[in-house]
Amino acid sequence: MSAVQDQENIVIVGAGPVGLTLAIDLAARGVKCVVLEMRAENAPAHPKCNTVSARSMEIFRRFGIADEIRQQGLPADYPCDVVYATRYTRNELGRLPIPSWSERFSGRGHDAGWPTDEPPHRVSQLFLEPVLRAKAASVPHIELRYETELLSLEQDNNQVTLVTRDVASGSENTLRASYVIGCDGGRSVVRHEIGVPLEGDDNLGRIKSIFLKSDSLKEKEQLAPAWMTWVINAEQAGTMVALDGKELFLCHCRIPADVSFDGFDPVEGVCGVTGVDFDFEILAEEDWIARRLVAKKYGKGRVYLAGDAAHNWLPFAGFGMNAGIEDAITLSWRLAAINNGWASEELLASYEAERRPVGEQVSRAAMHLAQNQAPPEIPAALEDDTEEGAGLRAFVGAALVERDGPQFNPIGLNFGVPYEGSDVIISDDEEPPEFGIDLYTPSTVPGCRVPHLIFPDGSSLYDQLGPEFTLIRKNKSLDITIFTKAAQRQGMPLEVLDIPLGDQMPYDRELVLVRPDQRIAWRGDSVPADVGTLIEQVCGVFA
């Protein structure tokens, strides 16, 4: 029996990190939404993701939760180093120094010196999700419906009809919405229901991720503490991640090609990676296949996809969730602008034009990193307690540190990927600068992330951007009245930020128009004669 409920405005399916980010950002823009989540309210997240990118931290700073997130997980003084070793407990091969969160702003470390208020942070999804959930629960505009599973949906030109199941009672309900956003992860029912296939490369490797608890493993460690330890030996390759710096660990075991998931013994895997017999409890396991898959479409009609529902790739450089978080904020200001009456529904079409190419590019970068990691020929004497063994370890360690330098300094993936080919970004004759995993050149070319600046008084440009559009003006004497009037006519909220930047690069234009998602929509040296058309265009209003 299915009861029909009232029509909701926006329904988000999935309260993972991406769905929660979308809900929080919508609420901050005054828009109500309902979030459907099939898990129970207090169900723990899987600790699989352990890197929150600088870009995600910038977004969380705008939500007012960045400091709280930095305090989760590892103790304040726990080094976030990346280590290479033959076993988790012994034979260090090499080390990339990454500071603890209390030293994150010291300017030291392999990934130091990025132009941001919020450098990357190492914290497990296990600890991140509760902060996002608590934030979402504290906002009146968000209605979180836990233990509610989406079964199916269909849409017409005016609405989407969803059939849901109450997990506790099994009863089915029907819900109507103006828009539905599928943030329901890799096995997305939403994506399935709108008939969108994934495209890319499948079966790039198989991993068993084991979440474990042990109060005795720390005593057996012969190496200085680290956040992540890559284990290289002839028997069991894997990665260990310290989650709380005490007793919680995540152990990713690479599964040999001739062994099935079920045929792989997790206890043997953990002992192989750690190199010791010790007491531990397995709290959860997750089998996953390394893939590079991107949805063919990021939406259809009134239904859109974000996060793992739209793309699924190997966690190299730590960008699955982080890309999803940026999907969410690219979508949320559009939905809010339409809801608040100052943008056209056509604005939504450019969501796919902006985010899908990023999904393609970042997923390919992650795949290349993974292919670089293909299990090397392990020299037989690597673990020997001999001069030859020591020489081999030094050689292999140096090669690994050099190979992975960019992966653990991914400034380009954080800040450098431009939006190109979007009809709501007004390009000029300059191409965005080239970017690479660890290559970033700040730029005001439309489509780029607005370059960060710290002013002489210590304040941050990012903290001074308005919640919606911001026009950065270098010279206060430049008359922008017709610009602000055009924005008013459209109803587009616009703040003017006067900053005496002089010749400070990369701000080489008098005016820079920044969108609510901190991307540059337009720049110029004067107000264009057809500024009304410009404003309409960035709001998705086309003649």
Ligand X SMILES: Cc1cc2nc3c(=O)[nH]c(=O)nc-3n(C[C@H](O)[C@H](O)[C@H](O)COP(=O)(O)OP(=O)(O)OC[C@H]3O[C@@H](n4cnc5c(N)ncnc54)[C@H](O)[C@@H]3O)c2cc1C
Least separation, in Å, of the C-beta of 98 and ligand X?
13
The partner residues of 248 in beta bridges, in order of sequence, read 213
Phi, psi of 412, deg, nearest 5: -70, -40
Q: Which residues contact 329 (CB under 8 A, 6 or more apart)?
A: 21, 22, 25, 59, 517
Residue in 490, 532, 538, 491 with CA at minimum distance from that of residue 513: 538
Select the span of 10-18, 26-34, 337-345, 401-409 touching ligand X (CB under 6 A).
10-18
Among 89, 91, 100, 209, binds ligand X (CB under 6 A): 209
Among 12, 34, 80, 150, which residue interacts with ligand X (rule: CB under 6 A)? 150
- Shortest distance, position 309 Cβ to ligand X, whole Å: 6
Residue number with CB closer to ligand X (196 or 487): 196
Q: Where are the alpha helices (DSSP H) in 175-278?
A: 189-193, 217-220, 266-274
- Distance CA(191)–CA(197), nearest Å, equals 8
Contact assessment for residue 317 and residue 410, using Cβ atoms and an 8 Å cutoff: yes
CB of 369 to ligand X, least distance (A): 12
Please identify, using beta-carbon distances, which residue of 325 and 382 lies nearer to ligand X: 325
Figure out which of the listed residues 114, 146, 278, 288 binds ligand X, where binding follows CB under 6 A. Answer: 288
Whole-number Å distance between alpha carbons of 253 and 173: 41
Cβ-proximal residues to 485 (8 Å cutoff; 6+ apart), any chain: none
Stretch binding ligand X (CB under 6 A), from 12-20, 230-238, 368-376, 389-397? 12-20
Which of 14, 238, 412, 432 forms a contact with ligand X (CB under 6 A)?
A: 14
Q: Which lies closer to ligand X via its Cβ, residue 230 or residue 469?
A: 230
Each residue 17-56 as x (binds ligand X by CB under 6 A) or -, in order, gives xxx----------------xxxx--------xxxx-----
Could you tell me which residues come within 8 angstroms of residue 364 by beta carbon, excluding any fewer than 6 positions away? Answer: 292
The answer to whether the CB of 158 falls within 8 A of the CB of 301 is: no
Determine, following the binding rule CB under 6 A, whether residue 200 of this chain makes contact with ligand X. no
CB of 188 to ligand X, least distance (A): 7
Nearest distance in Å: CB 351, ligand X: 15
Q: How many CB atoms lie within 10 A of CB 456?
A: 6
Cα–Cα–Cα angle for 27, 490, 334, nearest 5°?
35
Q: How far is the CB of 27 from ligand X (least distance, A)?
A: 17
Do residues 52 and 66 make contact, with C-beta atoms less than 8 angstroms apart? no
From the CB of 45, what's the least distance to ligand X, in Å?
7
State in angstroms the smallest separation of the CB of 179 from ligand X: 16
In the complex, the smallest distance separating the C-beta of residue 38 from ligand X, rounded to whole angstroms, is: 4
Q: Quick one: CA torsion of 136, 137, 139, 145, rounded to 10 degrees?
A: 90
Instruction: Decide whether 220 or 297 has the Cβ nearer to ligand X.
Output: 297
Taking the least distance from each CB to ligand X, the nearer of 247 and 286 is 286
Count of C-beta atoms within a 10 Å radius of residue 340: 16
**H/E run at residue 532:** helix 531-538
The number of residues that bind ligand X (CB under 6 A) is 34
DSSP, collapsed to helix, strand or coil, labels residue 400 as: helix
If one asks whether residue 175 binds ligand X (CB under 6 A), the answer comes out as no
What type of residue sits at position 251?
C
Task: Write out the binding residues for ligand X, residues 472-511 only, by CB under 6 A.
Answer: none
Q: In what order do the strands lie in the sheet with 311-313?
A: 198-201, 292-295, 311-313
Region of 7-15, 24-32, 59-67, 297-305 interacting with ligand X (CB under 6 A): 7-15
| Least separation in angstroms between CB 111 and ligand X | 14
Can residue 191 be called a binding residue for ligand X (CB under 6 A)? no
Judged by beta carbon, residue 209 or residue 470, the one nearer ligand X is 209
Give residues 104-143 in contact with ligand X (rule: CB under 6 A): 125
Residue 240 or 343 with smaller CB distance to ligand X: 240
Please identify, using beta-carbon distances, which residue of 312 and 443 lies nearer to ligand X.
312
The torsion of the CA quartet 14, 15, 20, 23, rounded to 10 degrees, works out to: 60
Stretch 242-271: interaction string toward ligand X, x if CB under 6 A: ----------x-------------------
Residues 301-340 that bind ligand X (CB under 6 A): 307-308, 315, 318-322, 324
Which burial class, exposed, middle or buried, applies to 303 when counting CB atoms under 10 A from its CB (0-12, 13-18, 19+)? buried
Cα-based angle 163, 165, 170 (whole degrees, multiple of 5): 140
Interface residues with ligand X (CB under 6 A) are: 13-19, 36-39, 48-51, 125, 149-150, 183-185, 189, 209, 252, 288, 307-308, 315, 318-322, 324
